[in-house]
Structures are given as C-alpha cells and as structure tokens.
Amino acid sequence: MSKNFEDFKFNRQILNAIEEAGYTQPTPIQEKAIPPILNGQDVLGIAQTGTGKTAAYVLPMIMKLKFAQGDDIRALILAPTRELALQIEENVKIFSKYTDLRSVVVFGGIGPKAQADQLAKGADILIATPGRFMDLYLDGHIVTKKLQFLVLDEADKMMDMGFMPQINKVLEIVPKKRQNLLFSATMSEKVERLSENFLLWPTKVEVTPQATPAETVEQELYFVPNLKTKINLLKIFVEDDPDVSKLIIFCRTRVVAENVYRFLLRRFNENHVKVLHANKGQNTRINSINSFKNDEVRILVATDVAARGIDVSSVSHVINFEVPVVYEDYVHRIGRTGRAFSQGKAITFCNPAEEYSIRKIEKLIRQQIPVKDIPSKVFIEDTAYEERQAIAREIDNQKRKEDPEFKGAFHDKKTPNQKAKFKAQRAKTTGKIPPKGSFGKNKRK
C-alpha cells in the first residue's frame, strides 16, 4: 500500500505547504529516502532527474531544523549549476512557507556583495555552487561550526565539471559531526569513491536502474548527414507537428545553440523562442527559464548547462540537435520530458561522427533507440567540404580511442626534415643512396 505524506509524521506547517503545492502522494524516491533521513542516517540516493529527489531531502531537513535559530547556517546544499541551485531554493521556499526558516542561494556569474549582505542577515539553509561557497567562506561571510546537514546534489555532474577539489576543501571546513546526503542520477566510479569518503554507513536508496530513461519517454533517432539537413528536419517539428506544444532543443556548443536560436527567430520571434547558454548573463538566463516555465514561450534552445535543474512540467518534446559527448547527459536531457508520469517524446538527430556516441549511449541505457526515416519532404543537403573534413577527422579520433595504433586519414603530416631523415633511414636499410638534396633544403642550381 502506497504511503501518503501524513505517514512520515511531518508537522502541520509542512503538510499544509505540501498540500498547497499540489502534491498528494510521495514519489518512490521520497518514500525510500525520507524515513532514513528523518532517523538521522547518511543517505546515498540514486534517482533520475524528475523523480522528486529534491523534496526527498528538503522535506525531512525542514522537519529536523524546525525553526530559525541564530545567524549561522545549519544546512548546506551544494549543486553544480546556478540553474539547479535556484531550482532547489524554490523548493525550499515552497516547503518552508509556513515556518520561519531562512534560506539563501549563492552562485557565481554575479557580484558577491549582494549575496554576502543576504548572509549577514542570518540564514538557516544555504544553497550554493561549490566555487562561490568557498569564495564567500574565505572572505569570512560564512560560518560553518553549527552545520548539521551537508547535501551534495547531482554529484555525478559535479564530478564531470571538475568540482572535486572544492568539495574536498568544503569537507575540511565543516564539522565532523553532521548528517550527509548524496544524490546522483548515475553511480559512476567517481561518485562511488566520493560516497566512500563522504558518507558514514549510508543507507542506499535507488528507484530506477542506473542511467535508465523514464518509461514515459518515447525515443526516436534520425540519422542526418549534416548540419543544414538537421535544420531542415528541425523545421518540420517546430512548424508542422501539432503535438509539439512545449519543446526544449539541446545543443552541445554555445555556437550551435546561438545559430539554431537565430534560425528559429527568423521563422518566429522572441515571443515564441528563448535561448539558454553560458555566454548569456545571469538575468537573461533566469528570464529565459521563467518565460518557458510560465508558457510565455513555446521553444527553449539550450546547452547542457540547462540539462539539469530546470523543473518545468508539461514539456511535450525534447530534441537533441547534437548528441551529447558526456553519455549520461542523454538521460538528463530526455528527462526534461515525460515528467511526473506524463508522456513525452525525445528525438535525436545524429550525423555520421555522432554515431559512435549513440552506440555508447545505447550501451549505457541498455536499450536500442528506435530509428526513424527522415520524412520525404525534408530536403537532404550536400555536406560542405569543411564539415565533411571535420566529420572524417572526428571518426578518425574515435577509431584511435578504440585502437591507439590506428593511423587515420588525419594522422600528423611529416615536416620536410622528417621526410629527409625517413628517406635517409630507408636508404641505409635498402643500400640505395638518397638523391642529392635529400638532407635539408635543396640548393637552387
């Protein structure tokens, strides 16, 4: 028999906030994680994005902290990106609405002064990106001696983004006696090593097999020869498919994201499409997310910085305009749709150089992505010379990854001196005298 939130013995303030937020039953990760957290145990949670894991640790944390106390933080939640940090803060504010607990969120990309001023007023819960947390701590704006909770959210992403040195520094400056919670979408070797150093006899809760896409997401794969044909195929989905009501288009690089955004702007306008990548200012990024979340725009073009931490309901489609090179990011991207047990569709465009990554992704998710034919009305463009060369070079690199001895079409070319030495070496072994001028530069006659 499935639980309801009353079964966790939450106080009336929390239950009222849960009810007001529209939640009726706990999700599987909440059912499994909340009891051990309330009991004071360290928890290692493996859960896909969109499964309600933020509430799984925020609700029991609020219950245990109870009310505002002093000026120094008692709970620290570390997140890899500012988007996720803002999303967590929103959850904290929703669920602590009827308590007097104070929360502050800090992240890079904007000046630290306003954040330091907020902290000076006192805070119980701090949500932070690791770099900005250490900056503010070293400047004397954060005191950790009263810390009771330390949470690492999206730990696998933190490992991928190189935050391990900052996390180690954080572990050195927080009290030894504390409750630790570590949440991750995948259980990579790095996360496993971190959990061994970070957690004390943890309770492990896992709600889906690692790196498994949600069953509510229908997946499709299109093999597309080049960038221009990808644009032509994208046009079909954004203009002709009536089922595409709310769409996120993921690109690997800022340059491609910006180009796709400009293409869509020419076809629509800013009332229909927004873009989200690291070159955009913080306010622009927040406005883009809010416009998309509030149904003010239908299409959001984004890089992987936005693959986690955007909690937007009713996204009907995700299009992977480019295949991610961090294979776990495929799961996070497509997890933006099919949330809260509703149906969604994830479509991937794959050029010849990206097929290698698709095979690795299929191995990771332990399933084949169904392949669809490009619709007949999509014009198949010729691949430009530069793109053809780039694709061939990338395929060579992939073959070299699998076989270090592989010599492809793009192995390093020899300099004239190297060629001369090579000829001389060959002449020694064959007994033939190299032609005049083989050593150094030929003299003009």
Q: How far is CA 226 from the centre of its chain?
A: 25
- Residue 444: is its pLDDT beyond 50? no
Do 83 and 285 meet the contact criterion of CB atoms below 8 Å apart? yes
pTM, to two decimals: 0.60
More confident residue, 382 or 438: 382
Phi and psi torsions of 222, nearest 5°: -120, 125
According to DSSP, residue 371 is labeled B
User: At 182, is the secondary structure helix, strand, or coil?
Assistant: strand
- Residue 158: is its pLDDT beyond 90? no
pLDDT in tens, 169-200: 999 999 999 999 999 887 777 888 888 888 88
Core vs surface per residue 92-106: b (16+ CB within 10 A) or e: bebbbbebebbbbbb
Q: Spell out the residues 6+ positions from residue 216 whose beta carbon is closer than 8 angstroms to its own.
A: 338, 339, 341, 342, 343, 344
Phi and psi torsions of 214, nearest 5°: -60, 140
Residues 163-168, mean pLDDT to the nearest whole number: 89
What residue ranges define each of the domains in the chain, with the CATH number in brackets? 5-206 (3.40.50.300), 217-381 (3.40.50.300), 413-445 (no CATH)
Q: Spell out the residues 6+ positions from residue 129 whose beta carbon is closer than 8 angstroms to its own.
A: 78, 79, 80, 81, 82, 85, 106, 107, 108
Core vs surface per residue 226-252: b (16+ CB within 10 A) or e: bbbbbbbbbbebbeeeeebebbbbbbb
Rg of the chain over Cα atoms, rounded to whole angstroms, equals 26
Q: Which of 354, 350, 349, 355 is nearest to 236 (CA)?
A: 349
By CB neighbour count within 10 A (0-12 exposed, 13-18 middle, 19+ buried), where does 122 fall? middle
Residues 249-254, mean pLDDT to the nearest whole number: 90
Residues 45-66, mean pLDDT to the nearest whole number: 88
- Residue 268: is its pLDDT beyond 90? no
- What CA–CA distance (Å, rounded) separates 42 from 323? 36
Side chain identity, residue 151:
V
A 10 A CB-CB count for 314 gives 13
Do 428 and 441 meet the contact criterion of CB atoms below 8 Å apart? no
Report pLDDT for 305.
63
Report pLDDT for 333.
86
